[in-house]
Amino acid sequence: MPSQRLASLDILRGFDLFLLVFLQPVLWAVLTQCGTPQAQAVLYHFDHEVWEGFRFWDLVMPLFLFMSGTSMPFALARFLRGEAPKRQAVRKVLRRFVILFLLGMVVQGNLLSLQVDSLQFYTNTLQAIATGYLIASLLLLYLGWRGQCIAMVLLLAAYTVPMMVCGDYTVEGNLACRIDAAILGHYRGDPTYAWLLPSFNFGVTVLLGAFAGQIIRLDRQGATVRTALRLLAVGLALVVSGWLWSFDMPVIKRIWSSSMTLLSGGYCFLLMALFYYVVDVCRLHRPFDWLKVYGMNSIAAYMLGEVVNFRSVVDSLTYGLQQWLGDYYAAWLTFGNFLLLFGILVLMWRARLFVKI
């Protein structure tokens, strides 16, 4: 595989960020004012499943984890080839883990409140990425294909066996939430979400992404249909496996059940296959290049979108519109907020300013 950046990965990452920090909040702001059955049907799929099941919006977080794994074989290539000592890679991985974990606390853990009582230690997507990245990168650095596959099975077992033996899959009775309650206590967010035990499966999701990256790198001829078909085949196999497993262990995104891990991993493979085929194989990238504004500055986009509120700026400049927009003025503020964010990312793109960790 050539050494240049994988365009499909940047665009797919941008698509995921665009959903999170533009389309979904704007849709919610606009469609909640409509109140029509069609609007409610759209919003249903742009919200998380309450417990069992899987909606479109439940794929956003797994896709983040998956793509962090897909980039690993490229980012760690010189270490994997033996051109640099692996201890340097380990230091890099540990630094990234710490920074992502702290940023997660900034976003959702109330770190900036400077109050211990309000602190939430492990509650955010960035922290799940950090944990999964740490696990998967060490496996990628020190194990071959076969060892990575065995490790993935062991990680799934480390989650699944305790869940099967020590509880059920209800909100009150599942082991994952009970472990979080016992160890993290009030230092966590929504009690229907679990983070500690699911960390094993976070590692699996990121490792699945690393498998996709390795499949792509195996093709020395560049982007080919054969590689896209391999990604497609793995994706279909994972979707079927996750669906079959769901008859025994329900698909529950909030506790990152093993069936959900395989099912969402399969969907991620299918999306990667689609974007890889369209962007890298067919080279139909121009209509989607604008998504790189998000995808190549994903940390900046996520942090600005989740932490900084630009609505007051929009309100200060356009408050006169309220008399005409009425109930839709709040939707306009939301739209303006994320439009300003997009403008900042465009300026960063043009200045070639990319936030790296």
Task: For the chain, 357 residues long, give each residue's pLDDT as a single digit of tens.
Answer: 334 579 999 999 999 999 999 999 999 999 998 878 899 999 999 999 999 999 999 999 999 999 999 999 999 999 998 899 999 999 999 999 999 999 999 998 888 888 888 888 899 999 999 999 999 999 999 999 999 999 999 999 999 999 999 999 999 999 999 999 999 987 777 889 999 999 999 999 999 999 999 999 988 777 899 999 999 999 999 999 999 999 999 999 999 999 999 999 999 999 999 999 999 999 999 999 999 999 999 999 999 999 999 999 999 999 999 999 998 999 999 999 999 999 999 999 999 999 988
Q: Is 238 left (phi over 0), alpha (psi -120 to 50) or beta?
A: alpha
The whole-number pLDDT of residue 1 equals 37
With tokens 């962007």, the residue in question is 279
CA distance linking residue 79 with residue 82, whole number of Å:
5
Helix boundaries (H) for 219-297: 225-245, 258-275, 292-295
Interatomic CA distance for residues 318 and 313, integer angstroms:
9
pLDDT of residue 4: 57
Q: Quote the CA–CA distance of 348 and 342 in Å, as a whole number.
A: 10
The domain spans of the chain are: 7-350
Separation between Cα atoms, residue 143 and residue 150, nearest integer Å: 10
* Structure confidence at residue 185 (pLDDT): 85
Q: What is the pLDDT of residue 294?
A: 96
Q: State phi, psi for 252 to the nearest 5 degrees.
A: -135, 105
pTM: 0.94
For tokens 């794929």, name the residue: 59
